[in-house]
Structure 1
Amino acid sequence: METRQVVGTWPARLEDRYYWVVQPEIVVAPGRYAVLTSSPQTWSYNATSKNAGMTWIEGYPMPR
């Protein structure tokens, strides 16, 4: 089921002159998510990504 609910907005910091980093430190349910930006012109892209913006998401399993 697709809800289009916004999970949150967080400020980003520039790291190593190239990467915008956000560390929301939240728990999200398994599912499919979209990443949005307030400034699309700052997204990295290339021919390999078919000129689509690129993002890297990193997560860790919660202890049981």
Structure 2
Amino acid sequence: MNATVVGAGVGAVLAIVAVTLGFWAFVVVAAAMLVGALVGRIVSGDLDVRRLADVLRGRRSSS
């Protein structure tokens, strides 16, 4: 699957949730998808947790 297909699927799910359950359900589902994507990237090794923490703390790295 490429990014376009995944993006379209995510958009469809969010649109269905927004129409059927309302705005706050849309926000909760979107937040859960974001957390799931972050966890997936951490588990697969695509995201370094230490670098992410440094960025969130405002620290800069030269490497």
Q: Normalised by the size of structure 2, how large is the TM-score?
A: 0.28
Q: Normalised by the size of structure 1, how large is the TM-score?
A: 0.27
Normalized per residue, which structure has more strand?
Answer: 1
Kindly name which structure, 1 or 2, has the bigger radius of gyration based on alpha carbons: 2
Normalized per residue, which structure has more helix?
Answer: 2
